[in-house]
Chains A and B, each alone.
Chain A
Amino acid sequence: NAGVTQTPKFQVLKTGQSMTLQCAQDMNHNSMYWYRQDPGMGLRLIYYSASEGTTDKGEVPNGYNVSRLNKREFSLRLESAAPSQTSVYFCASTTRRARRDEQFFGPGTRLTVL
């Protein structure tokens, strides 16, 4: 099992460019999440998908869109990147039957917007 995988691992964008961060999980989890982590901060929830076909906003959704492509994949899109979106992005997944209600995290994507 690969767990939660994210691509790319690193990315540099110019202001105004667009890109999509990809996330996939092979644990048959229903729920998936996107977080961002800024220096000196904990992770903050951007969007989540409780199950295939549904998405909901989290704490900091502005400037982002998401797509739950199927049960395995949950992508995050930046339509017009801004320097304020420079961050490390984490994808996570879980299921109601997960031991200890654990969310399983991917390795993160470090994004820099110039």
Chain B
Amino acid sequence: AQTVTQSQPEMSVQEAETVTLSCTYDTSESDYYLFWYKQPPSRQMILVIRQEAYKQQNATENRFSVNFQKAAKSFSLKISDSQLGDAAMYFCAYRRGMYSGGGADGLTFGKGTHLIIQP
């Protein structure tokens, strides 16, 4: 079974600085997707960014980018120019792809990293 590990329970960063959240995963599949979800105090789960395993190019969404190291099974999230609104729990998640038999699979989540933004 696949596992997702987030080794940083909490991170703190100054506003406008850059922070990197770590995630490692374990899978024997070749086709899969990786995600970062944000959960603010409202509890709403919000998709931040997504990476397809077969794509070598790292995904980028505005101030958010990932460093996807497939061989090392590492998927870190970089937040540039941190803003107060970025304060939240961040969850790394994995899902098998269709070609690995995971067409409608649910997500496997890590335990999360609590990101604090210092003004």
Residue positions of A touching B, CB distance < 8 A: 30-31, 33, 35, 40-45, 48, 50-51, 58-59, 88, 90, 92, 96, 100-103, 105, 107-108
7 additional A-B residue pairs with CB within 8 Å, beyond A45-B106, A96-B98: A31-B104, A42-B91, A44-B109, A45-B108, A96-B103, A101-B35, A105-B45
Q: Which 9 A-B pairs have the closest CB atoms?
A: A42-B109, A50-B104, A45-B106, A105-B45, A31-B104, A100-B50, A102-B47, A43-B109, A108-B43
Closest to B89 in A: A42
Q: Verify A43–B91 contact, CB threshold 8 A.
A: yes
Complex Cα gap A33–B93 (Å): 15
Known: A42-B91, A101-B33. A58 touches B106 (CB 8 A): yes
Q: Verify B106–A30 contact, CB threshold 8 A.
A: no
B45 partner residues in chain A, CB cutoff 8 A: 43, 90, 92, 103, 105
Q: Verify B103–A48 contact, CB threshold 8 A.
A: no
Is the contact region of chain B dominated by helix, strand, or loop, or is it mixed?
loop
B108 partner residues in chain A, CB cutoff 8 A: 45, 59
Q: Verify A50–B47 contact, CB threshold 8 A.
A: no
B98 partner residues in chain A, CB cutoff 8 A: 96
Interface residues of B in 67-119 (CB under 8 A from A): 91, 93, 95, 98, 103-112
